[in-house]
Structures are given as C-alpha cells and as structure tokens.
Structure 1
Amino acid sequence: MSKIVADLKYSAEHEWVAADASGPSVVGVSAVAADALGDVVYVDLPEVGSSVTAGETCGEIESTKSVSDLYSPVTGEVTEVNDEVVADPALINNDPYGAGWLFKVNVESEGPLLSAEEYAAANGGEL
C-alpha cells in the first residue's frame, strides 16, 4: 500500500499541498500517484512567476506507462520550481513527499481538498 502523509492535504487528482503559514505552500504528487504512474521519466512544471488555478492543469508528468496532467490543488503565484526533480524525475518515485516535491505557490485560495484520512479512504493508501 502507498504511504499517505497525515499532515498534508490532497486533491482528488492525487496532488498534495503542504501549507506553511510562514511562506509559500509546497505542492507535489502523492505516493499513490507515483506508484500508479510507474517510473517517472519527465516532468513539465509551471514557470516561476506564473499563476496556477486550483483544479486546472499546470503541467504534466510522463512515465514509462503514460503521460498524465498535473493539476494545481491551489490558486496562486508560483514562487519556485524544484529544478532537481526536473533534472531527475525519478525523485518523484523515490521520495514523493520529500526531495520529489514539484513547486511552491503563494496561495490565494485552495481548491476542494481532502484530509489525509479522506484521501486514504478513497484511494487505498496507508497513513
């Protein structure tokens, strides 16, 4: 079973967001999504300074199995992208909640998000 981190919020499209009151929120994809994708070989992220909208596509993740859209779980301005994950997309598979984070956002509003418990119940993950 895929690990679900308890203190994160999740979108129905399998992105997670870590809200940080002291700065931008961090966005990534869940271990459930990383496991379903298989070996991630390419990631296309939004540009720094661009706006993302909750529930809308903002990039894509390509694996050996498929190409999937990346959806933003929040609305706001992108302040940073993880250049390490662009250079080594396998970080998404190896550490989706750590080194495999995707981008940071100054959040204006959140989309409909699930608690870790709700996400685990809907997707078979393990807290």
Structure 2
Amino acid sequence: MTHASARRTPRGRQLIVDRFRSGWKQSHIAAALGVSRRCVKRRLDRYEIEGDAGLVDRSSHPHHSPRRQAPPELEAAVLDRRRRETPWTGRDPTGRPPPTTTSPPQPSAGGSNTSTRLDVTRRPAANPRSAGCPNLMADYT
C-alpha cells in the first residue's frame, strides 16, 4: 500500500491539477513533485478530457492479447489436425500423395550450378588457435 503523500496516487494527481490551476508552470510542478514534465502533461490532459475520473488509478490489464491462449476446443481441434496431417504420416494437407522418388537438382541453363556440383571438396576449417600464430601450438606440446 502506498503512503498518503505519494506522487503517483490519485491525491498526487489532484495536487498536479490544483497547482496548475493556481498558475504553476508544468515544468515547475514536475520539478516540485519529482516526476517528468511528460507525466504532468499526461495527467493534465486526462483531467481535461475525463474530469475527476481521469485522476483515479487505471487497470494495467492489456487492451488486447494477440498471443492469448486459444479456447480448449480450438486448441484440441488444431492438435488433432496436426496429428493427422504431419509429414511423417505420409499425408499432405493438400491431399496430394507423397513423392515417390527424389531427383537431384538440375544445373541451370546458363552454366554450371555450384550447388549441384558433387566434385567440390571443402577444406576442413583451420584450427583457430593456430590460424593467426603458428607458434602458439608450441606452448601446448
């Protein structure tokens, strides 16, 4: 529970409004209460629009939850469909049968395609300890 003179309670918000009505500048109110000028402006704008209702605490509950848990019925239906139509069951969601053979990709018409060349051999990666300094390994032998 907050104490009675806390800055971020309805009483503190009423103090912002009272000081503004008595002629204080927003920046002076913010400095006196130890809050930002933006906070003072926001409270005054809410008070202007909503009146005393703009000074009360608001709920922190989100307005919408885009990743909210689905209802149990919908979740069960999705899981059931996933079980029936996964790649390892051999069924395609479109109803097509699985491919019977796989053929390697063909080279493009413009020349050789390096992704299909089978004769390319790759060098093993260099040892990072010995790549820049050949004498470094001497310390470990």
In the superposition, the TM-score normalised over structure 1's length comes to: 0.21
More strand by share: 1
Select the structure of larger CA radius of gyration.
2
In the superposition, the TM-score normalised over structure 2's length comes to: 0.19
